[in-house]
Chain A
Amino acid sequence: MTNIPRKSIMDPACGDRLFRIAAAGSAFLVLALLAGLLLQLGVGSAPAWREFGFGFLVGTGWDPVANVYGALPAIAGTLLTTAIALILAIPPAFVTALWLVDAPPGIGEIMSQALDLLAAIPSVIYGMWGLFVLVPLMQDHIQPFLSETLGLGKIPFFGEYGNGFGFLTASLILALMILPYMSAVMRNVFRMTPSILRESAFGVGCTRWETAKDIVMRYGIRGLLGGIFIGLGRALGETMAVLFVIGNVMELPENLYASGTTIASTLANNFAEANGIMRSVLFALGLILLLLSLGVQVLAQYYLAMTGASRGEK
């Protein structure tokens, strides 16, 4: 150590600079990872795009033996399950957030914690519960009730008979999974509304619901949108819960009771035995999912940043 000149790593100023470079490097790793994701999935999927062109996006065939692949069933399944899950989950997420913000402290706290726990359960557990508990229940009770007792089966695309698997079951589970996330973001948004606005509304005689609908919602609409997009992003990419109950057939959605597939479950289901062009096809599906999620997340972050609300994930 004696021979090393003073200007070395031991020098505080130099060490400071090194530390700063290491810290900056680690932070910029996020950007590198994002870029790497795009690059690798792009490179991996290149053979598929060369082989099938953009017709891949609208192709409906899927026959590994004949080397025919189309992404439309998976894309349509993803969009369908996500859409139903959102329709099912947005209203309860909104009203629960509304109630929790003004809830009596004790109960409100317990309920918030319970919702957070719902978000903490691993998705594979949701899948297993779905497969062994929800699927038989759907088949024996819920699907007959919906289509026969309520007569919804007459509506085109709804479906009359189901075996319990399929889009509706997957959407139900997705709805339960994304509800706590959306509710948490929405709670944050509600809390950020200046209390003077709410108190003024109460002062002029608004009911709680009118205050929520006309004041809080208008004030925090961007944050609410951000919360919805957070839920949307999770539903798009959820793999295991969907994989267990969607039925996994590469077909376009026939009706809500039909079995089908989503991009994420196709990836998980086919990757083990994939090689050659099929592997590239799966990379192409992954790229589509990545771009969809990227778009959704950028919108979510943009809206949330505008209101200064946090993601509500902690």
Chain B
Amino acid sequence: MTAIAPEKRRGLFRRKLIDRVVGILSILALLIAVAGMIWIIWVVLARGASVISWTFLTEPSKPYGTLNGGIANALLGTVEITLGAVLIGVPPALLGGIYLAEFGKGTKSGNAIRFSANVMMGMPSVVIGLFIYAIMVIPMGGPSGFAGSVALAVLIFPVVLRTTEDMLLMVPDALRESALALGCSRARTAVRIICRSARSGLVTGIMLAVARVSGETAPLLLTVMWSDAWPKNYFSQPTANLPVLVTEYATNSPFEEQHAAGWGAALVVTLLVLLLNISTRIIFKEKNHAR
């Protein structure tokens, strides 16, 4: 860098100008992205809010062509499917995270699992849906809410696994050593001491993963399908759920009323996901500052 050829030397004015232009462009790009977000949320709010009423939230949806149905069955179905996914996916993810942080630090198998979990996080959700279709829907003879829960659990699993590991690694080693010195077993140390002190982090990871999958549509389209009934036969029948309802009403219906109902359902999904996401961030942040 000592001898720059004279012809390569750029004028100070030009260099400063380029710098300024790039600065303006980056603010512009940021504003466009944020405006896009506000635009989308605004459209959903504006078009969905007028539809939402007490009956809309408490009446079940009606068969195709019958208008003025509600979304209560889909709301309940979504809650069922998501809770099922949490029950199936979170325990092994926590255990796996404990393994990575407490036993698999720096080992070859630990690294391999970490790497695969990262890869797994990037797998398209529709492919996961296809996988669950092959191992559950075909053998069970048809789509069911349970199959959907398993598909979402597969999506949750690597995310919670990795956040659990990250959170446990943040716990100081002195705590581990003290517990072991007092005669606790490794298992007891991990569960009673380490997990407890990383509790808020673990909950955050789980909540964010749940927020992420509760709006997932593609895997449910393949594994749960859609129904107008109340979600009574969770284990054996197609189960009503919000994301697929939005898809059905938006793309497969010629009726303005159903488009409007689709916007209402879209608003409920969006609020559900964003509130879960934002509140988790805020709670976790306060906890972090308190520490």
Q: Which residues of A contact B (CB under 8 A)?
A: 12-13, 15-16, 18-20, 22-31, 33-34, 36-37, 40-41, 43-44, 91-92, 95-96, 98-100, 111, 113-115, 117-118, 120-129, 131-133, 176, 179-180, 183, 204, 207-210, 230, 233-234, 236-240, 243-244, 264, 267-268, 271-272, 282-283, 286, 289-290, 293-294, 296-298, 300-301, 304-305, 311, 313-314
B182 at the interface (CB under 8 A from A): no
Given that A92-B33, A96-B33, A293-B127 are known contacts, is A125 also in contact with B134, CB under 8 Å in the complex?
A: no
Q: Tell me which of B62-70, B229-237, B259-267 binds A.
A: B259-267
Q: Beta-carbon contacts of B80-121 to A below 8 Å, as 1s and 0s? A: 000000000001111111111011100001101101111111
Binding site for A on B (CB under 8 A): 1, 15-16, 18-19, 22-23, 25-27, 29-30, 32-34, 36-37, 39-41, 43-44, 47, 91-100, 102-104, 109-110, 112-113, 115-131, 133-135, 154, 157-159, 161, 163, 185-188, 190-191, 208, 211-212, 214-218, 221-222, 225, 243, 246-247, 250-251, 259, 262-263, 266, 269-270, 273-274, 277-278, 281
B32 adjacent to A92 (CB under 8 Å): yes
Contact A239 B186 (CB under 8 A): no
The residue of chain A having its C-beta at the shortest distance from the C-beta of B154 within the complex is: A33
Cβ-defined contact, B218 with A120, below 8 A: no
Q: How far is the CA of A41 from the CA of B133 in the complex (A)?
A: 10
What CA separation (Å) do A111 and B33 show in the bound complex? 10
B95 close to A22 (CB less than 8 A): yes
Say what secondary structure dominates the interface of chain A. helix
**Known interface pairs A31-B113, A293-B123, A300-B122; A92-B186 also in contact (CB < 8 Å):** no
Contact of B273 among A22, A120, A128 (CB under 8 A): A120
| Cross-interface CB contact of B120 among A12, A30, A129, A304, cutoff 8 Å | A30
In the assembled complex, which residues on chain B have CB atoms less than 8 Å from the CB atom of A128? 44, 246, 250, 262-263, 266
- Minimum CB–CB distance for B131 against chain A, Å: 5
**C-alpha gap A176/B273 in the complex (Å):** 18
Contact A311 B19 (CB under 8 A): no
Q: Can you list 12 residue pairs at the A/B interface with Cβ under 8 Å? A: A15-B185, A19-B190, A25-B95, A27-B161, A37-B123, A98-B22, A114-B37, A125-B44, A132-B47, A236-B124, A244-B251, A267-B130
With A92-B32, A96-B30 known to touch, is A24 a contact of B119 (CB < 8 Å)? no
